A and B are shown apart, each in its own frame.
Chain A
Amino acid sequence: AQKVTQAQTEISVVEKEDVTLDCVYETRDTTYYLFWYKQPPSGELVFLIRRNSFDEQNEISGRYSWNFQKSTSSFNFTITASQVVDSAVYFCALGNDYKLSFGAGTTVTVRA
């Protein structure tokens, strides 16, 4: 069975602070994919990134960065210099074949 744990339920920061979202996963598959999605107040889930299990290279996209560590089964997400527009619920997901297993989500609130 696959499982994704996002231990942080809510995080509140002041604008320009960095925020790191933790994601720990469990799977018996040797090949799998990891994802992060953003759900703003409008409700639609926005795809942010996909990582393959065989590619542990970290990635940076603007103010977003992702740290994939297979040894600890973690795929953490950092927002640098947060902005009010980053306020949303962020979901980590684990996938193989056709299905995704989502974590419970972390609500990020960025205060001006």
Chain B
Amino acid sequence: SQTIHQWPATLVQPVGSPLSLECTVEGTSNPNLYWYRQAAGRGLQLLFYSVGIGQISSEVPQNLSASRPQDRQFILSSKKLLLSDSGFYLCAWSVEGVEQFFGPGTRLTVL
């Protein structure tokens, strides 16, 4: 069966510091991968998605970036965090572009 992992689970970072969140999927090949952000009490905003290694599509302009160095690994990064980057970050995967399955999420607080 498929499993999706995200780490860390929680993170507190100062403004201006770098960020690296990692997501890995097990039990499937060539999945579509997604990064979402959920601000407190809000819905989900799609940040990036990837249909293959090295292929990244950005949905909203921001100071975040994503990379997919391996088939089942998706990384969300920032060189300098802003206060507005605080939120709950969710990674998801899908096959054939249909329903998406989500990881446990990373709760990021930028102080």
Tell yes or no: B49 within 8 A of A by CB: yes
Closest to B94 in A: A98
Interface residue A64 (Cβ < 8 Å from any Cβ of B): no
Q: Say whether B44 faces chain A, with CB atoms less than 8 Å apart.
A: yes
Q: A45 is contacted by which of B32, B98, B102 (Cβ under 8 Å)?
A: B102
**Nearest chain B residue, comparing its CB with the CB of A107:** B41
Contacts of A35 in B (CB 8 A): 99
**What total of chain B residues lie within 8 Å of the partner, measured CB to CB?**
21
Q: Which of B17-25, B62-70, B103-111 contacts A (4 or more CB under 8 A)?
A: B103-111
Q: How far is the CA of A2 from the CA of B51 in the complex (A)?
A: 21
Answer whether residue B27 sits at the interface, using C-beta atoms and an 8 A cutoff: no
Could you mark each residue 73-111 of chain B with 1 if its beta carbon is under 8 Å from any beta carbon of chain A, else 0?
Answer: 000000000000000101010100111111111010000
A42 neighbours in B (Cβ, 8 Å)? 104
Distance (whole angstroms) from the CB of B35 to the closest CB of chain A: 12
Give the docked Cα–Cα distance between A51 and B104 (Å).
Answer: 24
For the complex formed, measure the closest distance between the CB of A33 and the CB atoms of chain B, giving whole angstroms: 6
Q: What is the predominant secondary structure among interface residues of chain A facing chain B? A: strand
Whether the pair B101, A100 counts as a contact (CB closer than 8 A) is no
**What does the 1/0 interface line of A1-39 toward B look like (CB < 8 Å)?**
000000000000000000000000000000001010100
Structural contact, A99 and B42, CB atoms closer than 8 A? no
Interface centre among B46, B100, B104 (most CB of A within 10 A): B100
A43 engages B46 (CB within 8 Å): no
* Nearest residue, chain A, Cβ from B6: A44
A-B CB proximity, top 8 nearest: A45-B102, A104-B43, A98-B97, A102-B44, A43-B105, A50-B99, A44-B104, A102-B43
Give the interface of B toward A (CB within 8 A): 32, 42-44, 46, 49, 51, 88, 90, 92, 94, 97-105, 107
